[in-house]
Amino acid sequence: MGEPLLARYDRIVEYDVQRSCYEGFPVAVLEKGHVTGALAADAVRAYLLEAVEESEDAERLA
């Protein structure tokens, strides 16, 4: 499925700490904080729809 979605300015789940956990793997970055990222419904929706489409494409190819 799609890459993990991280919020760059999150002060609860710190970006640098989380990013280091995914070293060598691609991540998607939302240029927001914890709450503002959660409230960015359009951006989160677009991210989720892309992940669903990728998953459906992979199923068709299997």
At 9-30, the pLDDT tens digits run 999 999 999 999 999 999 999 9
pLDDT at 21: 95
pTM summary value: 0.78
Q: What is the domain extent for residue 31?
A: 5-61
- Assess contact for 60 and 52: CB atoms under 8 A: no
Confidence of residue 1 (pLDDT cuts 50, 70, 90): low
CB atoms within 10 A of CB 32: 17
- Assess contact for 6 and 30: CB atoms under 8 A: yes
Domain count, the chain: 1
d(CA 3, CA 9): 18
